[in-house]
């Protein structure tokens, strides 16, 4: 396992929710990363943001680690969940709420409902 792979695994293992993204939660540098970070932040989810633009080895390493070609990538309790389209779908269908409930991740259910109401 490369150093980048080891670092990625340690980050995922050490945090309940991890978002590998372009930019940071406070300053996303791509629309897709911004959307997922925005959903998590609006729902009050505590998560670790990893800026893949800061380290080329991490940027390529996360794609290899997950066997998923795009960024952002969301991990919940060690499990790869998906990228922007999947997180958007899961948020709107309520699947993300169920995942958080099943995994014991704290979030604001009312905020999740507001996202669905606004996009109905």
Binding residues for [2Fe-2S] cluster: 30
Annotated binding site: 30
Q: Are 25 and 19 in contact (CB under 8 A)?
A: yes
HSE-CB at 16 with a 13 A cutoff on CA atoms is 13
C-alpha 68/C-alpha 66 separation (Å) is 5
Query: For the residues of 57-105, what is the DSSP string, one character each?
Result: HHHHHHHHHHT--SS-EEEETTEEEE-HHHHHHHHHHTHHHHHHHHHT-
- Parallel, antiparallel or unpaired: strands 79-82 and 73-76: antiparallel
3-state SS, residue 55: coil
């Amino acid at each position: 396992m490369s150093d980048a792979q080891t670092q990625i695994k340690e980050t995922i293992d050490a945090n309940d929710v991890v978002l590998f993204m372009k930019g940071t939660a406070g300053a996303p540098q791509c629309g897709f990363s911004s959307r997922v970070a925005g959903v998590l932040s609006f729902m009050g989810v505590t998560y670790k943001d990893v800026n893949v633009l800061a380290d080329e080895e991490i940027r390529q390493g996360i794609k290899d680690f997950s066997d998923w070609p795009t960024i952002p990538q969301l991990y919940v309790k060690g499990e790869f969940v998906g990228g922007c389209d999947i997180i958007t779908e899961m948020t709107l269908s309520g699947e993300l709420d169920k995942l958080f409930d099943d995994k014991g991740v704290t979030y604001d259910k009312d905020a999740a409902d507001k996202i669905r109401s606004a996009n109905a």
